[in-house]
Amino acid sequence: MDNSGHEKEPPALAGTSNGRPLYLVHIALQGCIKSGDINYGLTADTGGHIRYLLEEVRALQQAGVNQSVVTRAFADANLGREYQQQSEILMPGVTLHRLRGQCPGYLCKEDMHCDLDALTDALALWLQKLPRLPDVLHAHYADAGLLALRMRERLGIPFIFTAHSLGAVKARWLESVPGHSVAAPALKQRMAVEQRVIDCADLIVASSEDEATNQYGLYSRTDCARPIRINPPGCDLKRFGEPAMRGRVVASLRRFLADPDKPILLCLARPVRKKNIIGVIDAYARDPALRARANLVIFAGTRGDIQDQEGECAEVLQAIVDRIEHYDLYGSVAFPKQHLADDVPAIYQHAARSGGLFINAAFNEPFGLTFIEAAAAGLPIIASCNGGAQDILSRCQNGILIDPENSSAITCAAHDLLDDRKRWSRCARGGKDAVRYYSWQRHARQYLRDCSMLTSPPRRHLPLMAHASPRPSLIRLASRSSSLLVTDMDDTLLGDAAALLEFTEWLKHNRQLRYAVATGRSAAAAFAELLSWHAPLPDVLISSVGAEIHWAPIAPRYKVRYIDKVDRMRADAGWAEQLSARWRRDACAAVLARCPLLRKQPAEAQGRNKLSYFTDAGPNVVPLVREQLARAQLIAQVVYSHDHFIDVLAPGGAKGGAAEHVARCLEIPAARVVGAGNSGNDLDLLRRTAYGIAVANRDTDLQALAPLPSVYFSRAPHAAGLVEGMCYWQGGASPSVKTG
């Protein structure tokens, strides 16, 4: 970094594509990423994807690739102060940059969606400040995939996607859990994001045959979908294979075990339900012969007081303690509170020295880095048959696959391996030998081969600043296949009769374009207003700042007389349902009723998915409202506009989210959606659509968008600005410049 906070040009090293040094930016948002030792299991999301990322970066670095890693900044005194730092050196030559979103605190992956728009803008800005755009982005996990997809739409950078774990696989498992028959809204949203990312990624990297075939098989794949490459991750074979100092580990276990010399059955996993640690305890506890034969040792992240833990981790940790108590497993089960990152190889090696086994009976383990770590340490394994272990075991032949739901399968496999010492030794030795295949060097070589497909021939990036560049030729909005225009109503579409006429004419010549109006007004009021202006009626009406959607029966703009009131349009009940499942409206209303800076708008402005207020406190009221809601553990989308309106909406329920929903329903790719507007309640729309138009009579609120290359600032006001912007994005005749 130089003093201005800009990254220096990455040094020119090997690993080139078309003669240029390859520059790769990885995006990984969730969990706690930092330089130095990672505290795996510190939160439910601090797990294998981070180990994978860091080791992949190191291997690619050694192969001469220039890289940066981007994650999310957050402030959380319990997790550590380092996560607030804007940037740090991750490893020599690689910078870790932390994007600031709008939520200051730590977010678990289920809540990350509320910050993704702000993170998108922060990433776009950061990328623009780099002396050179990356050749490729690599997104780790769904939410990072969405950011990469948006960068591809805005800047034309190709991206690689590694899922690490797919929502559809989890949903399938949850369906089989009593009381969980329907996937939670956050999981549904994640699957929708994954589907979009899968549709658009330039390359998908899977870790195993099972992941590529069965796990991705749960998503739809079009004929022209990009390839899925199987490139298994590696393992630091030296670290896990060469004898480590076991003293600290031995001491930490002695405190728990009556006979510490018995073979160890080792579980090492993040404390989350999916890992089924509880299932292993149940199986062990109910088999007296196994209890007599072996100790059970559980490492599940590091913890202080369980009461201070949150969410799923707290629940699983408490359940482990309760099970130990329930079965009275004292003396035969060890459950240390802490371990150091440095101790992990010694943990596996100590279990191997005891003649023990590694058990991972996860309901699904997409790949399972722990399997190859155990193999490298010479520890035979009992592995869930669901997921990556099928590949690993068929290569390493170092253990037994079991059905994780079947308790006796787990204990039978343990007896078989513990009692047959020859078999145990074959597994230990054979595994250690075969696991050499899983080297990061091999991974890096294949990675670079695959990556070269993306960088050659060189792709044109969309212009960073439109006024400095030729019109984006990659955009073919004028082509025959359909696109979607979502325009704000008051003071964008309406407000100038002559301009509206110009737009109406233009629309007649663009019949392939689907056209939606998005307004803060109620559907009925908006419809009446459109009629009174003789405006072309839209295919879709998004009203109440995005909270409601109505669909026209058929091409309404040519059949105006058949639709004389909004009741003839179909209300999108699914959208309303989806939104209300995402928030606690009454709880939000109760919190905001106590806020002296807000006055409630009349009843007709309130809706199932919208709470509306007046304020005289200016835009700074927005962070205050968010903070009050966050303190009550509530999430909502807060929209400020026209100097005195505050709309509080279900997360994702503003105009941009509604536009995405409409595009999905129409099967129009996100890359072909244009948003247009003039005021603060259009910010979400202009940020989330691939192409934006801010008309000349815009409010200062929209100035925040000036740095975004995907937003065009028209010179003409009202609907004439719409036409000008559309011509600009279509690469047509209007010779406008982008002005901030």
Ligand X SMILES: O=P(O)(O)OC[C@H]1O[C@](O)(CO)[C@@H](O)[C@@H]1O
Ligand Y SMILES: O=c1ccn([C@@H]2O[C@H](COP(=O)(O)OP(=O)(O)O[C@H]3O[C@H](CO)[C@@H](O)[C@H](O)[C@H]3O)[C@@H](O)[C@H]2O)c(=O)[nH]1
Question: Using CB under 6 A as the criterion, which residues of the chain lie in contact with ligand X when the complex forms?
Answer: 30-31, 45, 47-50, 109, 141, 164-165, 170, 274
End-to-end CA distance of the chain: 28
Work out what residue 367 binds among ligand Y, ligand X, none; the CB cut-off runs from 5 to 8 Å by kind.
ligand Y
Stretch of 293-301, 483-491, 505-513, 615-623 contacting ligand Y, by CB under 6 A: 293-301
Q: Which is nearer to ligand Y, 277 or 654 (CB)?
A: 277
Contact 233, 388 (CB under 8 A): no
**What minimum distance in Å lies between the beta carbon of 58 and ligand Y?**
14
In which element (H, E) is residue 610 found? strand 610-614
- Give the span between the Cα atoms of 152 and 675, in whole angstroms: 17
Stretch of 19-27, 366-374, 412-420, 656-664 contacting ligand Y, by CB under 6 A: 366-374
Work out what residue 109 binds among ligand X, ligand Y, none; the CB cut-off runs from 5 to 8 Å by kind.
ligand X
Closest CA to 150 of 540, 566, 726, 686: 686
Contact 406, 382 (CB under 8 A): no
- Residue 350 within binding range of ligand Y, rule CB under 6 A: no
- Residue 344 within binding range of ligand Y, rule CB under 6 A: yes
**What minimum distance in Å lies between the beta carbon of 366 and ligand X?**
7
- Residue 640 within binding range of ligand Y, rule CB under 6 A: no
For the chain, helix (H) and strand (E) counts, in that order, are 25, 28
- Residue 370 within binding range of ligand Y, rule CB under 6 A: yes
- Residues of span 294-313 touching ligand Y by CB under 6 A: 299-301
- Give the span between the Cα atoms of 342 and 344, in whole angstroms: 6
Give backbone dihedrals phi and psi of 94, rounded to 5 degrees, phi first: -125, 125
- Give the span between the Cα atoms of 500 and 557, in whole angstroms: 14
Q: Which is nearer to ligand X, 256 or 371 (CB)?
A: 371
Q: Which is nearer to ligand X, 10 or 48 (CB)?
A: 48
Largest CA distance in the chain: 89
Q: Which is nearer to ligand Y, 61 or 386 (CB)?
A: 386
Q: Which is nearer to ligand X, 112 or 374 (CB)?
A: 112
- Residue 241 within binding range of ligand Y, rule CB under 6 A: no
Q: Which is nearer to ligand Y, 109 or 270 (CB)?
A: 270
Which letter, b or e, does each residue of 222-250 get, where b requires 16 or more Cβ atoms within 10 Å of its Cβ? Answer: eeeebebbbbbbbbbbeebbeebebeebe
- Ranked by CB distance to ligand X, the top (closest) residue is 47
- Give the span between the Cα atoms of 209 and 231, in whole angstroms: 9
- Residues of span 644-703 touching ligand Y by CB under 6 A: none
Contact 377, 352 (CB under 8 A): yes
Stretch of 24-32, 78-86, 113-121, 359-367 contacting ligand Y, by CB under 6 A: 359-367
- Residue 52 within binding range of ligand Y, rule CB under 6 A: yes
Q: Which is nearer to ligand X, 109 or 461 (CB)?
A: 109
- Give the span between the Cα atoms of 117 and 41, in whole angstroms: 27
- Residue 226 within binding range of ligand Y, rule CB under 6 A: no
Stretch of 43-51, 185-193, 212-220, 499-507 contacting ligand Y, by CB under 6 A: 43-51
- Give the span between the Cα atoms of 672 and 688, in whole angstroms: 12
Work out what residue 45 binds among ligand Y, ligand X, none; the CB cut-off runs from 5 to 8 Å by kind.
ligand X
Work out what residue 30 binds among ligand X, ligand Y, none; the CB cut-off runs from 5 to 8 Å by kind.
ligand X
CB atoms within 10 A of CB 594: 9
- Name which position in 21, 279, 356, 368 contacts ligand Y (CB under 6 A): 368
Classify residue 619 by its DSSP letter.
Answer: T
- Name which position in 154, 196, 270, 688 contacts ligand Y (CB under 6 A): 270
Contact 207, 366 (CB under 8 A): yes
**What minimum distance in Å lies between the beta carbon of 140 and ligand Y?**
8
Q: Which is nearer to ligand Y, 83 or 367 (CB)?
A: 367
**What minimum distance in Å lies between the beta carbon of 276 and ligand Y?**
12
- Residues of span 576-615 touching ligand Y by CB under 6 A: none
- Residue 727 within binding range of ligand Y, rule CB under 6 A: no
Instruction: Give 505: exposed, middle or buried? Use CB within 10 Å, 0-12, 13-18, 19+.
Output: exposed
Give backbone dihedrals phi and psi of 67, rounded to 5 degrees, phi first: -145, 155
- Residue 365 within binding range of ligand Y, rule CB under 6 A: yes
Q: Which is nearer to ligand X, 17 or 215 (CB)?
A: 215
Q: What is the 3-state secondary structure (H, E, C) of 692-738?
A: EEECCCCCHHHHHHCCCCCEEECCCCHHHHHHHHHHHHCCCCCCCCC
Residues making contact with ligand Y (CB under 6 A) = 40-41, 47-49, 51-52, 164-165, 207, 268-270, 299-301, 344, 365-370, 373
